[in-house]
């Protein structure tokens, strides 16, 4: 497992959790926990994204592999998150919002 530099991870997490919390929730609901009420991205590496999800009164950790794993370039992170979100929207039967 290859990891990205700490500043890259911190930037992605800040962006996802600050600007795309609803997108993270859709990803979690489609790929692991359909009854989740909240989700926060907690980590990423070349193989997957990691989220902490709220289900009822519990917190669950979820690992979701990138569709094109492994990835090695920072620019690939955005592509993979967008791909996961588009797949999640399709699975949930909702239209992806425009960002």
Band (2; pLDDT cuts 50, 70, 90): low
pTM value surpassing 0.95: no
For residues 61 and 92, the answer to whether their CB atoms sit within 8 Å is: no
* Domains and their CATH numbers in the chain: 6-92 (3.20.180.10)
Predicted local confidence at residue 99, as pLDDT: 58
Half-sphere exposure in the Cβ direction for 73 (13 Å, CA)? 4
Q: Provide Rg for the chain, Cα atoms.
A: 13
The predicted-structure confidence for 36-93, as pLDDT tens digits, reads as follows 999 999 999 999 999 999 999 999 999 999 999 999 999 999 999 999 999 999 999 9
Q: Which residue has the higher pLDDT, 95 or 12?
A: 12
């Amino acid at each position: 497992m290859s990891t990205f530099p700490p500043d890259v991870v911190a930037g992605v997490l800040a962006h996802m959790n600050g600007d795309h919390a609803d997108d993270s929730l859709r990803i979690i609901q489609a790929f692991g926990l359909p009854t989740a009420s909240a989700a926060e991205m907690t980590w990423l590496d070349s193989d997957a994204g990691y989220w902490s999800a709220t289900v009822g009164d519990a917190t669950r950790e979820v690992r979701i592999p990138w569709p094109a794993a492994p990835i090695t370039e920072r620019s690939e992170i955005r592509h993979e998150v967008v791909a996961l979100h588009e797949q999640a929207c399709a699975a949930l039967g909702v239209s992806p919002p425009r960002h």
